Amino acid sequence: MNRLNSITSVGRYKKDEMVKKEMYKLLRANPEGIGSEEFVEKIRATTKVSRGKIFSMIKKYEQLGIMKTERNLEDKRHATYCPNLQKVKTEQRFSEGVEFIQALLSEPKTEFAESETKSSGIHVSVSIFTNLGEKQNLEDQVISIAKQFSSGYDKLLGKNMKVRPSTKLAFIITMES
């Protein structure tokens, strides 16, 4: 049997990504929770992966705090999966940002520029990906943005704001028309 277009011909990483996307979609669509049977069957119907794969991803999401399982007290076989909406939204935004950059990188005339500044002990790194095709203008913009971020943090730190050394902050700004 030829299965070139089947999910079985897709690698493990791609399967994991497909299950992740479907799980996030179902968790976002059901903020009050979703029954375990319905959850697993909907994921299986769209991704064609094994129940074992789905349950391993569920266990991973529970460990990460993305969702929790509430068991039925009368019948322990039945459960409801409840999302931690803050983490689901954060993961969704990050995933969308990564997908946007990957799509942009697949275009033939994509340009990349980056700049770094450091002031008040804060290291700021700014990267820009675009398909505008104007490399020199892009480098000027990225330097300007890095300086603006750095001076903005200087003002915040001047107000006796305490920042732990382990604190990291990331911005993903996407622009499409």
Task: Encode pLDDT of 108-139 as tens digits.
Answer: 888 888 888 877 667 778 888 888 766 667 88
Instruction: Identify the segments of the chain with pLDDT beneath 70.
Output: 1-10, 120-121, 133-136, 154, 156-163, 169, 171, 175-177
As a three-state string, the secondary structure of 117-131 is EEECCEEEEEEEEEC
Evaluate whether residue 101 is within a structural domain: no
Q: So what's the pLDDT on residue 73?
A: 82
Same domain, yes or no: 64 and 123: no
Evaluate whether residue 173 is within a structural domain: no
Same domain, yes or no: 26 and 76: yes
Q: Sign of torsion, CA 56 62 66 69?
A: positive
* Residue 14: half-sphere exposure toward Cβ, Cα within 13 Å: 7
How many domains does the chain contain in total? 2
Same domain, yes or no: 67 and 111: no
Same domain, yes or no: 12 and 45: yes
Evaluate whether residue 2 is within a structural domain: no
Spatial distance between the Cα atoms of 102 and 36, rounded to a whole number of angstroms: 33
Q: Which domain holds residue 141?
A: 107-157
Taking the whole predicted model, whether its pTM rises above 0.75 is answered as no
Same domain, yes or no: 64 and 115: no
